[in-house]
Each structure stands twice: as structure tokens, then as C-alpha cells.
Amino acid sequence: MSIDGKLGPIRKGLLEFLILKIISADKVYVADMLKLLSTTEFATQEGTLYPLLSKMRRENLVDYEWRESESGPPRKYYKLTAKGKSQLAELNQYWKLINTTISELGN
């Protein structure tokens, strides 16, 4: 299996973490998220993002509110719930732990 094939599932697994991070900074709508991710290793598309956001909303990690838009129909702006903030904090902590572990092993 190629390196990319091995890293693909990791990227997928981390996407939810990154979405939590993006939304934690500000209320954002999907186009904002896609744009922010587009220049990273985690570039994704609507076909992936909408079902993921829907799942995260079902898990009460995010919620959204409708806002009028000057350039089209109203848009859903996503925000973190209390549970989402708590999960993000846990994930951040775990990510630091993983980083430390990886850094310390084998050197």
C-alpha cells in the first residue's frame, strides 16, 4: 500500500477534529470550512462535509443557525455546542499526547 493509501484513513479520522477546531474559532458556514481546508492536507468536498456535519449535529457536537446572505439564500452557520467544546478540548489533549509519544519513540 502506498503512503497516501496509509495516510488516507488517518486524514479522514482527523477531519472531524479539524472541523471542531474551525468551528470553535467562529461561526462558519460550509463554504468557509471548505475554503480553510482547501489549502491543507485535509481538503474535502461537500459530499463528505455535509454528512459529517449532520452526524456531528446528531451527536450534539455542533449546531447551526440560519443567517441571511447578500449573495443568495440564507445560509447555515455552524457553532460548537458545550459538548462539542468539551470534546474538542479532549481531542486537543489527546493530540498533544500522540505528538509527544511519536516524538519520543524511536529517537
Partner 1 sequence: MNKVITINLNGNAYQVEERGYQLLCEYLDGAETQLKDNPDRAEIISDLEQAIADKCRNFLGPQKTIVTTSEIEQIIQAMGPVDSEGGEAGGSPEQDTSTPDEINWIVQGGNYGFGHSAGHRDMLLGIDFLAVKPEALLRNRLAEAGLSPGHSILIPSASHRLLGRGENFLRRVEIRKSLRQQDRSLIEGITRDGADHGFLKIVEPVGGVSFHG
Scanning 7-15, 20-28, 78-86, 92-100 for contacts with partner 1 by CB under 8 A, the matching segment is 7-15
| CB-based burial, 36-50: b 16+ in 10 Å, e otherwise | bbeeeeeebeeeebe
- Nearer of residues 35 and 100 to partner 1, judged by Cβ: 35
d(CA 95, CA 65): 29
Scanning 20-28, 49-57, 86-94, 96-104 for contacts with partner 1 by CB under 8 A, the matching segment is 49-57
Scanning 20-28, 44-52, 85-93, 94-102 for contacts with partner 1 by CB under 8 A, the matching segment is 44-52
- Number of other residues whose CB lies within 10 A of the CB of residue 25: 10
List 1, 58, 82, 105, residue binding partner 1 (CB under 8 A): 58
Closest CB 73 distance from partner 1, rounded Å: 7
Radius of gyration of the CA atoms of the chain, in A: 16
d(CA 43, CA 80): 21
Binding residues for partner 1, rule: CB under 8 A, are 12-13, 15-16, 30-31, 44-55, 57-58, 72-73, 76
